[in-house]
Amino acid sequence: MEKNNYKEIASGAINENKMLVISECSKGGFALAQKIVVNDSGKKRGMFLKGIIMLDDINSLKNAKIAFEEAIEVLENKQS
């Protein structure tokens, strides 16, 4: 059985030590994962946390984008 391979296509800082990483899966679809970034003797090293969110296709990825945008809009309007 062939193992999934992931190619990182985008990432962004969630906080000082954690990133959200979007990767393309070799068997199709996309994965959203969290990566912890630590300083190891002056070198930055990343370690992925267990548990990813799989998105079936680009439409699912677009829907996730819409959900993030809606959440941001609600929170920004709440602060006004």
Domain harbouring 34, CATH code: 2.30.31
pLDDT of 1 above 80: no
Indicate whether 1 belongs to any domain.
Answer: no
Question: Residue 38 and residue 18: Cα distance in Å, rounded?
Answer: 9
Looking at the DSSP bridge assignments, the partners of residue 22 are 10, 32
Indicate whether 35 belongs to any domain.
Answer: yes
Indicate whether 12 belongs to any domain.
Answer: yes
Domain of 67 in residue numbering reads as: 6-79
Count of domains observed in the chain: 1
Verdict on whether the full-model pTM lies above 0.75: yes
Tens-digit pLDDT profile for residues 3-56: 889 999 999 999 989 999 999 999 999 999 999 999 889 998 999 999 999 999
Sign of the torsion angle spanned by Cα atoms 61, 8, 54, 17: negative
Indicate whether 60 belongs to any domain.
Answer: yes
Indicate whether 64 belongs to any domain.
Answer: yes
pLDDT (0 to 100) of residue 56: 96
